[in-house]
A and B are shown apart, each in its own frame.
Chain A
C-alpha cells in the first residue's frame, strides 16, 4: 500500500464547478498535512496546510479526518487558472530531516 494515495484523475470540470479531491495516508502517527499545487513543468508550490479543525482560504477548503486517515481539498467556483496537479503531502513529524511523503497527485483540468 502506498503511504499517500490519491486518485490520479484527470478531473475534467467546467468553469464555475465545485470539485473535491481526496487523499488517504497510511501512517497514523503523521503530524502535519499539506496540499501543494504543481503546474505543468513547474515546481510544486504550497497551496495550504491542513488542520484538524479544517481550514479555508478563499475558494479552497481543506479538511482532515485523523480517525479515517483521510484528507480532502474542495475547490469552489473553479477557474481556468486552477488547472494543475494537486499533491497531497504528509509529514510524519518525528524526524530531524523533516521529510515529506508525497502522493502521486491529482490532475485537474478546468474547461471554458
Chain B
C-alpha cells in the first residue's frame, strides 16, 4: 500500500530564516506530487505541483520554491521566511492520468507540517 511522509510535524522559525520541508511517498512510482498551504481557519491553497522529476509548476507567486530531486521526493523551500508564511503545509500525491489511463484521480495527503513564523 502507498504511504506518504512529511517532516517535521511542527516547526517554529524566525522571520528571515530559511525553510526546507520534505515529503516522500512509498509504494508507488511516477506519482504526481503537490504542495498545499492552509492558513488558520481557511481553505486549501495549491502552491506547487509536479508531474515528474525536475518538473515543477507554480500556482501562486511567492517567496517559496519547490524541487523534486527524485521520483518520490518533493521539497518545499524558502530562502527568507515572512510572517505570512505561517500555516499548515500539506503534501499530497496522486496517480498520474497517464498511469491510470484516466483523468480525475483522487489525491492523498500527508500528515502535514505546522509552521509558525515569529
Contacts and interface: CB of A to CB of B under 8 A. Distances in A.
Interface in B74-118: 88, 90, 94-98, 103-112, 114
Interface string B13-49: 0000000000000000000101000000001101001
A43 B110 contact: yes
Interface residues of B, number: 26
A51 to B, nearest CB: 12
Contact of A99 (B43, B46, B90): B46
Interface of A: 31-32, 34, 41-46, 49, 87, 91-100, 102-105
B104 A31 contact: yes
B64 interface: no
A81 B8 CA distance: 27
A87 B49 CA distance: 20
A98 B107 contact: yes
Interface of B: 32, 34, 43-44, 46, 49, 51, 57, 88, 90, 94-98, 103-112, 114
A91 B104 contact: yes
A105 B43 contact: yes
A98 B114 contact: no
A42 B112 CA distance: 7
Contacts of B97: 96, 98
5 contacts: A34-B106, A46-B108, A92-B104, A96-B51, A100-B106
A98 B97 CA distance: 7
Contacts of B111: 42-43
Given A96-B96, A97-B32, A44 B103 contact: no
